[in-house]
Chain A
Amino acid sequence: MSEKVLEKMFGKEFVEKYRKARAKAEKIPEKRLEEIKKFAVENMDPDRFAVKYNNLDVLLVFAPRRENLLEIKKTSAGNYKVTAVWYGNQSLRGPYISVFTGLEEDAERIVRHPEAVSLIVGKLRESMYEGDLTYNFRCLGVVPLEGDKEEFTRSGSEVEPANEEEIDLDELLEEGE
């Protein structure tokens, strides 16, 4: 909907309150996130670093290595955007994915420290941009994984570190909200 109409009618403060209420309503409860974590541990596709859980996408992602890429940006639609590294990404530009969360605390969880490992739960969107695949993710829940990295990586293989010089291209992505 047109955010401008809503803002004109009720003011900025109301729009902000509504966004927060919506984000809270959409957030997946902790108990269910625990169930999803158990399911993901057993069923994660090691080539895609992803698994489907009912109608939700579950991705294994890493926070970028470089501190300056751990920034949380607020979007014009009132969501929070972070960049994560997802090795299931088929894009030629590198393994980055834009993750949008409704709650700031979820964004903080994803980039809580460099190379932090998380499961993110929500909706993955794939589209073409200038002939290449791009992705963004509407995140409804985050499961931080500390010390569990081995559970999800391919047995005996090391995950290649991301080429973080390519990160600027990510800014060209549309937010897709």
Chain B
Amino acid sequence: MEELERRIKQSFFNLLERPRSPGSIHVSALPFCLRKEFFNIKFNANPQPNPAMVSGKIYHLVLEHLDFLKGCRFEEEYAYGLGNGWWITARIDAIDENRREVWEFKFTKRLSSTELDPFYFAQACTYAVMANCERYFIVKVHRDTFDVKVLEGKADVDVFDALKQRALHIIDCLENNTIPPGPERDWECKNCVYSIICSNLKTEERRMEE
């Protein structure tokens, strides 16, 4: 029975199995630690799925059944070429081509997050630019109560360009075998699989300074 239980649990986690395409840099990773995405690409690693990611995936699977999103296309993939085999890639939750709108859903226990919401906002803005849409919506849905908060914005090429520059920085480091800087916010190191490498790098840097 134990083995059966393990297999059932694992099958939920398998929902997230998505091999990384060569040369692909995800939009969703770009507002965050460049070094982390650098290592992900370098080691061809996918983020380790956790239970929150699994339940998020399950919620996303029902989006196409919502009458509110009738007429939308779901999980559409977009890619923007950066040359030399490198791409910025995006998978958009829902896109309404007639209304030229992009819908990005976040299932969460916190309807408002001052830390993450601005980056979700930038992420959806970039999706809208990539899909040639005019408007975008971040829909935050409370996992337990289904209360909803919606942030709305207009596509802005400058935001796309800002994230593109970050992608180019990662590529430059990959091609020249240098390491990009760590995160702009310390909390990103919490639970990061690469934190042991970064802490060793910091120790090394300190030693060099002395």
A29 and B1 CA atoms in complex are apart in Å by: 52
A13 and B162 CA atoms in complex are apart in Å by: 13
Given A1-B185, A22-B151, are A17 and B31 neighbors across the interface (CB < 8 Å)? no
Interface: A5 (CB within 8 A): yes
Interface: A149 (CB within 8 A): no
Residue pair A18, B121 in contact (C-beta under 8 Å): yes
Given A1-B118, A2-B184, A26-B112, are A17 and B153 neighbors across the interface (CB < 8 Å)? yes
CB within 8 Å: A-B pair count: 53
Residue pair A22, B117 in contact (C-beta under 8 Å): yes
- Complex interface: chain A residues within 8 A of B125 (CB): 14
A interface residue count range (under 10 / 10 to 19 / 20 to 34 / 35 or more): 10 to 19
Which listed residue (B31, B115, B151) contacts A21, Cβ 8 A?
Answer: B151
Residue pair B152, A21 in contact (C-beta under 8 Å): yes
- Complex interface: chain B residues within 8 A of A18 (CB): 117-118, 121, 151, 153
The secondary-structure label for the interface of chain B is mixed
Given A1-B115, A1-B185, A26-B112, are A21 and B162 neighbors across the interface (CB < 8 Å)? no
Residue pair B185, A25 in contact (C-beta under 8 Å): no
A6 and B122 CA atoms in complex are apart in Å by: 10
A6 and B184 CA atoms in complex are apart in Å by: 10
A1 and B152 CA atoms in complex are apart in Å by: 20
Interface: B7 (CB within 8 A): no
Interface: A128 (CB within 8 A): no
Given A1-B115, A13-B158, are A21 and B153 neighbors across the interface (CB < 8 Å)? yes
B153-175: contact bitstring with A at CB < 8 Å (1 yes, 0 no)? 11010110010001000000000
A24 and B150 CA atoms in complex are apart in Å by: 9
How many whole Å from A28's CB to the nearest CB in chain B? 12
Residue pair A1, B114 in contact (C-beta under 8 Å): yes
Which listed residue (B112, B118, B156) contacts A6, Cβ 8 A?
Answer: B118
Interface: B149 (CB within 8 A): yes
- Complex interface: chain A residues within 8 A of B121 (CB): 18, 21
- Complex interface: chain A residues within 8 A of B114 (CB): 1
A24 and B153 CA atoms in complex are apart in Å by: 11
Interface: A176 (CB within 8 A): no
A11 and B166 CA atoms in complex are apart in Å by: 14
List which A1-59 residues lie within 8 A (CB) of chain B. 1-2, 5-6, 8-11, 13-15, 17-18, 21-22, 24-26
How many whole Å from B49's CB to the nearest CB in chain A? 26
Residue pair A17, B185 in contact (C-beta under 8 Å): no
The list of the 8 closest CB pairs from A to B, nearest first, reads: A1-B115, A5-B184, A21-B151, A1-B114, A25-B151, A10-B162, A18-B118, A18-B121
Subset of 18 A-B contacts with CB under 8 Å: A1-B114, A5-B184, A10-B122, A10-B158, A11-B162, A13-B158, A14-B156, A14-B158, A14-B159, A14-B162, A18-B121, A18-B153, A21-B153, A22-B112, A22-B117, A22-B151, A24-B151, A26-B149
Interfacial residues, chain A to chain B (CB-CB below 8 A) = 1-2, 5-6, 8-11, 13-15, 17-18, 21-22, 24-26
Q: A5-B185, A9-B122, A10-B162 are in contact. List 19 more A-B contacts (CB 8 A).
A: A1-B118, A2-B184, A2-B185, A6-B118, A8-B184, A9-B166, A9-B184, A10-B158, A10-B159, A11-B162, A14-B156, A14-B162, A17-B153, A17-B154, A18-B117, A25-B149, A25-B151, A26-B112, A26-B149
